A and B are shown apart, each in its own frame.
Chain A
């Protein structure tokens, strides 16, 4: 058994961290978040240059064939640095393309950093159930056209193309729709964590089928399980940063003539946060390893366990970090509050804790006894 990262994996992480510390500082990020575009073309160019867009793409399409384990370190660094670029949305979109097959040319463009993707899956009524959709596709395979309104599409306003879920005769199927095609309307906005998302409306928008209609739900589940695993890793990175900032604050902030870290009520809170973080880190590692195992039931079980557990940890660590920062914790000035906001939105993305506990219970393994 081996819990260490390979040299190449660590090299990716180190390169990312150096870039964040030098060129993606908290103040630079703030400027990007408040800019009209909400993202930075220079930052994207650097991510591409560092090989981040190539990492998850298959080797045959110019990528590095990275697994979820390879992506762990990358996502942790992006979480630590609160990076708001459309990386996760594109990587998730690429996973759909890779699973569906037949989109090699587009994957090459993703690897080269020339194509940004967004996943238009949820709708107003879906909550966390991505099968609860009303979008439909008509026209058969040849002349497919998608109609429906997708909500909170992460980085929908920055995408060149969308992965869209829509029903065909009651079955969920997946389509690729170009952003600049007729019948697509995008309303881009800022999210509470400083990212961008969009409401994307499709009105008989010409669409390319991804995989067969029969595969739609399986691909969607596999891709979003991959996405959930990546979000867990991002949360670990954000929690690491938030925990370190809080520990630092406890060692420096003076009250009653002593650093507040000398008070046991606060010390034990930190110990509780530490235990949450270690448990979350453990189950994220397990999810990353099992994600690619090929056993779909095991993948559902472990990824749901991870997303549920990380969601709990993120809520506890986030809330308590703010509490321990006192008044400063609820200002816009410190990274603490921004890490807390990102941790909160991760909890609400691709299934919250309750959703994943329910899914964990629904797997056959839960009822199996010796």
Chain B
């Protein structure tokens, strides 16, 4: 047992840090660290900076433009990005649709889509959930009917994250209604500019436009946009779910936020003392920090078993990781107390001047808390993750 990083790993970390020090634009870093909302341009700008370095798709094979990193190096990269406060590289293209295209797409699809994903030439979004198909995803109803060289798509997708910016959407659609629900699903790539597609915003409880409904009304999609075989889409979707999931714990990000929380609790006062010195508050922070220390080792243990392939262990990381992320935001709001109330959406979107209430540091935190309730719901709710643990690990 040896829990130290190797000299090669540390050298790699230094290389990553040097890159981030030199290339992360300070205004993006400030937005991320201050919990402000990122624009489309912010995401694209950072993606292209990283792509230029050749690091935009850490898990991709070298032949498709990946850097050839092992799991430990990918972990270090994620950890250093989180520590620095970079915008995220959005997962929909790089981590979600690309591995499916690589594994099941044809040569023309690989040649066309993969370089464009790598360079963020296309903004991808995900068309999985529907109003009647959430945790029970396989009951989806959006249909794709074959007519000559095209599919005619009708139906509705929902919770489409940042779909308002998207050029492309990857969808699970029903191509056969006569068989068991998992067996009639296909994986289809659809150009968002196709006539018949309507995107309608869903405004979330923090008044942010982060997700959308996407409606399909007789949308004509070339059959060349089908991935793999017709009616095999469920298999591809499951493949995607098991792919590259240790990052889901977001340990690096939570470490940065723990540091932020402590600074906030040193700034806030209780009984004439910094709040962090209050035994009741300190106890909550300590329990959180201890859980995070344990989770970091749990992540590293999962990485060390990488050769066994992605497994249901990711469900443990998702549950624990999101619990910690949510508790961090909860304690930030608790630290502010009544001063968490002022709400200034324009400030959150990056408007000049000071936040309503005058506390620029604290102004985004209540919205952040409410926004982060999503984490235990998306990506397979934490209850679904427990079903996976139950079935796949415990065999019940």
Residues on A lying within 8 angstroms of B by beta carbon are 1-6, 69, 72, 247, 250-251, 261-262, 264, 267-268, 270-272, 274-275, 278-280, 282-283, 285-286, 288-289, 302, 305, 308-309, 357-358, 360-361, 366-367, 369-370
Contact B294 A279 (CB under 8 A): yes
B281-300 interface (Cβ within 8 A of A): 282-283, 286-287, 289-291, 293-298, 300
Q: Is the CB of A282 within 8 A of B1?
A: no
Whether A2 lies near B2 (C-beta < 8 A) is: yes
**What residues of chain A lie closer than 8 Å to B72, measured between beta carbons?**
1
Query: What residues make up the interface of B, taking CB atoms closer than 8 Å to A?
Result: 1-6, 72, 259, 262-263, 266, 276, 279, 282-283, 286-287, 289-291, 293-298, 300-301, 303-304, 316, 319-320, 383, 385-387, 389-390, 393-396
Whether the Cβ atoms of B294 and A275 lie closer than 8 Å is no
Q: In the complex, are the beta carbons of A279 and B298 less than 8 A apart? A: yes
Question: Do residues A275 and B319 form an inter-chain contact, with CB atoms below 8 A?
Answer: yes
Besides A1-B3, A286-B294, 17 more A-B contacts (Cβ < 8 Å) are: A4-B304, A5-B1, A6-B1, A251-B396, A268-B390, A270-B390, A279-B294, A283-B294, A285-B297, A286-B293, A289-B3, A308-B286, A361-B279, A361-B282, A366-B286, A369-B259, A369-B266
Alpha-carbon distance A251/B390, docked complex (angstroms):
12
Q: Are B386 and A268 in contact (CB under 8 A)?
A: yes
Whether A367 contacts B293 by the Cβ 8 Å rule is: no
Chain B residues with CB under 8 A of A264:
387
Most A CB contacts (10 A, CB to CB) among B301, B385, B394 go to B394
- Known A3-B304, A367-B262; judge A250-B386 contact (CB<8 A): no
19 contacts between A and B (CB under 8 A): A1-B6, A1-B72, A1-B300, A2-B2, A3-B301, A251-B395, A267-B394, A268-B383, A270-B390, A271-B319, A271-B385, A271-B389, A282-B295, A285-B301, A308-B290, A357-B290, A360-B289, A360-B290, A367-B266
Contacts of B389 in A (CB 8 A): 271, 274-275
Q: How far is the CA of A288 from the CA of B297 in the complex (A)?
A: 13
Quick one: which of A4, A289, A361 has the most chain B CB within 10 A?
A: A361
CA distance A366 to B353 in the complex (A): 34
Which residues of B lie under 8 Å from residue A286 when comparing CB positions? Answer: 3, 293-294, 297
Bound Cα distance A250, B395 (Å): 11
Q: Which chain B residues lie closer than 8 Å to A69 at the CB level? A: 1
Complex CA–CA separation, A105 to B290 (angstroms): 40
Q: Closest CB of chain B to A313's CB: distance in Å? A: 9
A2 touches B301 (CB 8 A): no
CA gap between A247 and B320 in the complex, in Å: 21
Q: What A residues does B395 contact at CB under 8 A?
A: 251
> When A and B form their complex, what is the total count of cross-chain residue pairs whose Cβ atoms lie within 8 Å?
124
Residues in A whose Cβ lies below 8 Å from that of B291: 279, 309
Residue pair B5, A1 in contact (C-beta under 8 Å):
yes
- Residues from chain B with Cβ under 8 Å of A270 in the complex: 390, 394, 396
Q: Is the CB of A283 within 8 A of B319?
A: no
- In the bound complex, how far is the Cα of B324 from the Cα of A309, in angstroms? 14
| Distance, CA A267 to CA B387, complexed state (A) | 8
**Complex CA–CA separation, A247 to B294 (angstroms):** 24
Q: Which residue of A lies closest to B2 (CB)?
A: A2
Chain B nearest CB from A321 CB (Å) reads 14
User: Which residue of B has the minimal Cβ distance to A9?
Assistant: B1
Pairwise interchain contact B1-A2, C-beta atoms closer than 8 A:
yes
Per the bound structure, the CA–CA distance linking A5 and B6 in Å amounts to 18
A11 to chain B, nearest CB (A): 15
- Give Cα A358 to B395, complex, Å: 39
Q: How long is the Cα–Cα vector from A358 to B291 in the complex, in angstroms?
A: 15
Give the distance to chain B from A87, nearest Cβ to Cβ, in Å.
Answer: 22
Closest to B274 in A: A367
Q: Which 9 A-B pairs have the closest CB atoms?
A: A282-B297, A271-B386, A283-B294, A261-B396, A267-B390, A279-B294, A271-B389, A305-B290, A282-B298
Decide if B286 touches A360 in the complex (CB within 8 Å): yes
Q: Which of A1, A6, A289 contacts B304 (CB 8 A)?
A: A1
Inter-chain contacts of A305 with B (CB < 8 A)? 289-290, 293-294
Contact B259 A3 (CB under 8 A): no
Which residue of the partner chain, among B1, B6, B295, contacts A288 with CB atoms under 8 Å?
B1
With a cutoff of 8 Å between Cβ atoms, the chain B residues found around residue A1 in the complex are: 2-6, 72, 300, 303-304
Q: Which residue of B lies closest to A282 (CB)?
A: B297
A278 engages B300 (CB within 8 Å)? no
Q: Which residues of A contact B298 (CB under 8 A)?
A: 278-279, 282
Residues in B whose Cβ lies below 8 Å from that of A357: 283, 286-287, 290
Contacts of A271 in B (CB 8 A): 319, 385-386, 389-390, 394
Interface contact A370-B259, CB-CB below 8 Å: yes
CB neighbours (8 Å) of A6 from chain B are: 1
CA–CA, A270 and B282, complex, Å: 30
- Shortest B19–chain A CB gap in Å is 20
A279 — which chain B residues lie within 8 A by C-beta?
291, 294-295, 298, 320
Least CB distance from A286 to B in Å reads 5
- What residues of B have a CB within 8 angstroms of the CB of A289 in the complex? 1-3
Tell me the minimal C-beta distance from A81 to chain B in angstroms: 22
Q: Which residues of B have CB within 8 Å of A367?
A: 262, 266, 276
> Nearest CB to that of B266 among chain A residues?
A369
Chain B residue nearest to A69 in the complex (CB): B1
In the bound complex, residues from chain B placing their C-beta under 8 Å from that of A250 are 396
Smallest Cβ-Cβ distance to A305: which chain B residue: B290
Smallest CB separation, A367 vs chain B (Å):
7
Q: Nearest Cβ distance between residue B392 and chain A, in whole angstroms?
A: 11
Please measure, in the bound complex, the distance between the C-alpha atom of A286 and the C-alpha atom of B286, giving whole angstroms.
17
Name the A residues within 8 Å of B1 (CB-CB).
Answer: 2-6, 69, 72, 285, 288-289
Closest to A6 in B: B1
A3 near B320: Cβ-Cβ < 8 Å? no
A285-B3 CB under 8 A given contacts A267-B390, A271-B389: yes
A359 and chain B: residue at smallest CB distance: B286
Nearest chain-B residue to A367 (Cβ)? B276
A361 CA / B290 CA spacing, docked (Å): 11
Q: Once the chains bind, are B294 and A309 in contact (CB under 8 Å)?
A: yes
Which of chain B's residues has its CB closest to A269's CB?
B386
Max chain A Cβ within 10 angstroms of own Cβ: one of B4, B259, B293, B296: B293
Write the nearest CB–CB distance from B327 to chain A, whole angstroms: 14
B312 to chain A, nearest CB (A): 10
The contact of B297 among A267, A275, A283, by CB within 8 Å, is A283
CB neighbours of A283 from chain B (8 A): 290, 293-294, 297
Chain A nearest CB, measured from B25 CB (Å): 20
Q: Are B263 and A369 in contact (CB under 8 A)?
A: yes
Contact: B2 with A267, CB < 8 Å? no
| Residue from A69, A251, A268 with most neighbouring chain B CB atoms (10 Å) | A268
Per a CB cutoff under 8 Å, which of A3, A4, A262, A369 touches B262? A369
Residues of B close to A360: CB separation below 8 A: 286, 289-290
How many Å from the CB of A21 to the closest CB on chain B? 23
